[in-house]
Amino acid sequence: MFADPTGRHAAAFAAVFAALYVAHQVADHWVQTQWQADHKAEAGWLGRLACAAHVTTYTLTALLALATVVLATGLRLDPWGVAVGLTVSGASHYIADRRTPLRRLAEHLHKSPAWMERGGGLYALDQSWHYGFLFIAALFCAA
């Protein structure tokens, strides 16, 4: 990529990833309403609306976490990089939380239906999908 003898880019990435990871946990498990959780994977407009509402509060939680890091540490982030990163995070979160795309991908990869349904596999796949995209989002935010 490019040389960064000061390590500033690596430190910015680490701080941003930590903020996005914490925001993910808080937004997915505390901020998300029961209505959003119950309906976000449903077919039709109700499901799309519930998922969009969840992704909105999820993204606002991430923005708040990033703003807190910036204010607390003096870290400078490019607003366009943050916008792209949060868009990547939000869009990928919406795709995963609608469930069908993730389930189809898991089936294509021959994941066991029993493991996905009763063994916690679908939740594990969902979370690992989110963490992978948080990594990509942090790269954009910290660039």
The answer to whether residue 35 sits within a structural domain is yes
Instruction: Work out the average pLDDT over 35-50.
Output: 97
Domain hosting residue 56, numbered range: 8-142
pLDDT of residue 113: 82
pLDDT of residue 3: 61
The answer to whether residue 121 sits within a structural domain is yes
Residue 122 has pLDDT above 90, yes or no: no
The answer to whether residue 23 sits within a structural domain is yes
Read off the pLDDT of residues 15-32 as tens digits, 9 standing for 90 and up: 999 999 999 999 999 999
Instruction: Work out the average pLDDT over 119-130.
Output: 88
Identify the DSSP state of 120: S
The answer to whether residue 49 sits within a structural domain is yes
**Mean of the per-residue pLDDT values for the chain?**
93
Print burial letters for 101-111: b (CB count within 10 Å at least 16), e (below 16).
ebbeebeeeeb
The answer to whether residue 3 sits within a structural domain is no
Distance from C-alpha of 15 to C-alpha of 70, rounded to nearest angstrom: 9
Residue 89 has pLDDT above 70, yes or no: yes
Residue 48 has pLDDT above 70, yes or no: yes
The answer to whether residue 33 sits within a structural domain is yes
The answer to whether residue 2 sits within a structural domain is no
Distances (CA, A) of 134 to 5, 23, 73, 75, 107: 25, 10, 21, 19, 23
For the chain, the domain total comes to 1
Residue 58 has pLDDT above 60, yes or no: yes
Beta-carbon contacts of residue 33 (< 8 Å; ≥ 6 apart): 53, 54
Instruction: Work out the average pLDDT over 96-124.
Output: 86
Beta-carbon contacts of residue 34 (< 8 Å; ≥ 6 apart): none
Residue 127 has pLDDT above 70, yes or no: yes
The answer to whether residue 55 sits within a structural domain is yes
Residue 5 has pLDDT above 60, yes or no: yes
